[in-house]
């Protein structure tokens, strides 16, 4: 069966995801959706120019919302680069919300109108709040609406710990949990290197490593004025887990019934989206951090949802 994926937003991140899927054979058909039609058309043409030198063939359709009808996955990467710059400069990951919150309702309506019945993967920031808005506006079951969450932050932690110990980051296991933002934290009780608990390494500055993982995006941004490859790789990892029905455990943003909000926590991912939670034995301190992060996300969601609801009432 053909693997059909739509990408909404062809900026740096959307284009990097598309490139990864094309060059690895991760999709048979891609749908590019962007308000800048010239940009979307140019990206499609650029891939067509590359086709003769690529190993895999991928069919690309541009700005056809109805093509989402039988898509397996829709990926939201919409955003506004000028606000991303402001957020990186101020350290406020919610600055982009002033733009993205206004876009989600219209995009959600078009996704629903297309008849799409696959898995919606949200990368748009602030990802936990935006994922919750998408779920609310589409009405899709929560298991079918997943945010990229701290999958990237976990990889940054693995890189930081790997560098500190001189090992391959793939040898580091464990999770960053909570918000994809400033209230996230490294659950050190879950982090191991070659099976050994990292917390037992007395010569490691765990607070510094946690901060490095949290601020990794700002560091990349300072050098190139955007981030792309890290989040693209994380997104493709999530997409592959869905398409292959891998039942892999990933720390992504999903609805947590007990905390009444979207946030990142390990879940088992498969063809239907989130299959079930993968429970952790967190320490009391880590559980408190998770609860505080959840409260922060939920408050921001409640505020923006109330604002959007008021706007709808006024328009009517």
> What is the set of active-site residues?
180
The tally of CA atoms less than 13 A away on the side-chain side of residue 299 is 8
DSSP three-state, residue 124: coil
Contact 238, 121 (CB under 8 A): yes
Distances (CA, A) of 302 to 61, 132, 136, 138: 36, 10, 12, 17
Q: What is the maximum alpha-carbon separation in the chain?
A: 62
Main-chain phi, psi angles of 70, to 5 degrees: -115, 25
The torsion defined by the Cα of 302, 274, 135 and 68, in degrees rounded to 10, comes to: 160
The torsion defined by the Cα of 266, 272, 273 and 276, in degrees rounded to 10, comes to: -30
CA 278/CA 275 separation, integer angstroms: 10
CA 263/CA 185 separation, integer angstroms: 12
136 torsion bin: left (phi>0), alpha (psi -120 to 50), beta (else): alpha
Instruction: Write out the two tokens for 241.
Output: 């887990």
């Amino acid at each position: 069966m053909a693997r059909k994926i739509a990408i909404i937003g062809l900026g740096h991140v959307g284009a990097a995801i598309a490139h990864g899927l094309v060059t690895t054979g991760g999709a048979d058909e891609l749908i590019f959706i962007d308000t800048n039609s010239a940009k979307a058309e140019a990206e499609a043409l650029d891939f067509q120019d590359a086709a003769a030198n690529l190993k895999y063939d991928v069919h690309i359709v541009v700005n056809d919302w109805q093509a989402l009808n039988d898509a397996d996955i829709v990926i939201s990467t919409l955003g506004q680069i000028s606000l991303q710059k402001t957020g990186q400069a101020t350290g406020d990951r919610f600055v982009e919300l002033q733009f993205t919150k206004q876009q989600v309702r219209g995009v959600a309506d078009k996704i629903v109108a297309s008849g799409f019945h696959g898995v919606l993967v949200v990368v748009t920031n602030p990802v936990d709040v935006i994922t919750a808005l998408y779920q609310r506006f589409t009405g899709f079951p929560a298991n079918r609406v997943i945010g990229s969450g701290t999958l990237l932050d976990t990889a940054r932690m693995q890189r930081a710990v790997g560098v500190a110990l001189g090992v391959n980051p793939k040898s580091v296991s464990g999770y960053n949990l909570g918000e994809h933002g400033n209230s996230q934290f490294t659950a050190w009780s879950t982090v191991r290197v070659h099976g050994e608990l990292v917390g037992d390494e007395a010569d490691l500055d765990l607070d510094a490593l946690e901060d490095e993982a949290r601020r990794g995006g700002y560091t990349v941004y300072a050098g190139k004025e955007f981030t792309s490859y890290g989040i693209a790789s994380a997104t493709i990892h999530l997409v592959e887990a869905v398409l292959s029905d891998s039942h892999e455990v990933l720390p992504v943003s999903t609805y947590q019934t007990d905390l009444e909000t979207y946030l990142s926590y390990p879940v088992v991912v498969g063809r239907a989206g989130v299959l079930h939670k993968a429970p952790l034995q967190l320490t009391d301190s880590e559980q408190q951090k998770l609860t505080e992060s959840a409260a922060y996300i939920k408050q921001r969601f409640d505020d923006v949802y109330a604002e959007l609801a008021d706007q709808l009432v006024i328009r009517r």
